Amino acid sequence: MSKSIKIEASRDIEMLLEIMSRLRDKESGCPWDVEQTFSSIIPYTIEEAYEVQDAIERKDLDDMREELGDLLLQVVFHAQMAKEQDAFNFGDVVHAITKKMVRRHPHVFGDAQMRGKALVKGAWEAIKAEEKQERQQRRAALGFDDEAKKAFLDDVPRGMPAMKAATKLQKQASKVGFDWNDPALVLDKIEEETQEVKQELQALQQQDASLDSLAMKSEIGDLLFAVINLARQCHIDPDEALAITNQKFRDRFGHVEQRLNEDNISLQEASLDQMESLWQSAKSLT
């Protein structure tokens, strides 16, 4: 597609690719888009994925359409930057995923006799193992010596959100027996970590030191890690558990705000005692 072709809204993916190509043009493109790198747009890529999730949870399909478009743009953005480095292009991305999906679903695209869940799962794991070996061979040919520096926990991506990473790190360690396997023992660990947070807090307050110290961050991190472990031991996704509490907090705080509005009192004017009283009232309703 040449620059003489009019840029307009289209259902054709080629138009989106052309738009991104022009935005990245060093002479006539958008200065902001031109200066971006893989690293600089990571936050946007992650944010767009969360906005898709938000639209889904709100059951807003119109908004979901928009957010999926924003997320697709991030894929196109990364692919365009890779194309500029002669690494790969959008077509290569599509080829990689279509190849993977066809290969991983022989019961759909190949052997029609493979219909049982156990057979499908077994084939899935075997195919993934083959893909992993092929990936290692391909990367070795490209000069990436992954295995020489690979540690047992390296299968957990470092860029993953911290809560999900904690869960996966614990599951990975559990594969070799490094695990409590008893929620009661994890509760003891939580109490231990809570005491360490208290001790660090008291020490910092006595020294009149900043509470956002590295030591305090570390202690709170240890406590959060232990709580995530408890959720995992109870077969509960900590993200889902926290999402339930987040919604509960929204609902209860909304009740507080509504009751204050009924009394012509703003949130800024209300005292802590007033809000606490209404909070307790909201708790009795949910």
Query: For the segment 68-116, what is each residue's pLDDT rounded down to a tens digit?
Result: 999 999 999 999 999 999 999 999 999 999 999 998 888 888 765 655 6
Position 18 scores a pLDDT of 96
User: What sections of the chain are H helices per DSSP?
Assistant: 13-23, 31-35, 42-57, 61-84, 90-104, 106-109, 117-141, 146-149, 162-174, 183-206, 214-233, 238-262, 272-285
> pLDDT below 50 — which residues of the chain?
none
Position 115 scores a pLDDT of 58
Position 62 scores a pLDDT of 95
Mean pLDDT rounded to a whole number for the chain = 91
Residue 155 lies in a domain: no
Same domain (yes/no): 141, 187: no
Residue the block writes with tokens 């202690």: 219
Same domain (yes/no): 96, 111: no
Same domain (yes/no): 145, 242: no
Query: For the segment 107-141, what is each residue's pLDDT rounded down to a tens digit?
Result: 888 765 655 666 667 777 788 888 888 888 888 88
Position 111 scores a pLDDT of 62
Instruction: Choose one of 150, 185, 216: the last residue of a domain.
Output: 150
Residue 239 lies in a domain: yes
Position 273 scores a pLDDT of 96
Position 182 scores a pLDDT of 95
Number of domains making up the chain: 3
Give the range of the structural domain holding residue 200, as residue numbers without chain letter.
162-285
Residue 156 lies in a domain: no
Q: What is the CATH number of the domain that holds 42?
A: 1.10.287.1080
3-state class of 247 per DSSP? helix
In whole angstroms, how far apart are CA 104 and each of 90, 91, 101?
Answer: 21, 20, 5
Position 23 scores a pLDDT of 97
Nearest to 174 by CA among 189, 153, 188: 153
Same domain (yes/no): 97, 109: no
Same domain (yes/no): 178, 244: yes
